[in-house]
Amino acid sequence: MSTIIKPIITEKITKESEQFNRFGFVVDKKANKVEIKKAVEKAYGVSVVDVNTMIYRADRTTKYTKSGVISGKTSAYKKAIVTLKEGDTIDFYTNI
């Protein structure tokens, strides 16, 4: 079971990483804070101070188009915001 699914790279999280040393990840729904902390420390070789998690629900959408009504939904996921020890950092852009 992979705890960390992918990192979140948005303007808001990038700003938080510069100011408060916080990084965001999409994680497995069944993972708890201790498992997330261990996975980040193992994957990136950093010291984690704090982990905040939130679960986003699936949203249903309806679009009215020329061809008719199209309905769909966004997927549900769990997000973790990880605060690192002062001096540690994660660079997501080195592998691009």
pLDDT 10s digits, 71-88: 999 999 999 999 999 999
Residue 93 covered by a domain: no
Q: Is residue 29 part of a domain?
A: yes
Residue 74 — φ and ψ, nearest 5°?
-90, 155
Q: What is the mean pLDDT of each run of 10 residues along the chain (96 residues)?
A: 89 93 96 96 94 96 94 95 93 75
3-state secondary structure of 27: strand
Range list of β-strands (E), the chain: 4-8, 22-27, 48-56, 60-65, 68-73, 77-84
**How many structural domains is the chain composed of?**
1
Residue 48 falls within a domain, yes or no? yes
Residue 35: CATH number of its domain: 3.30.70.330
Is 43 a member of any domain? yes
* Assigned domain for 95 exists: no
pTM over 0.75: yes
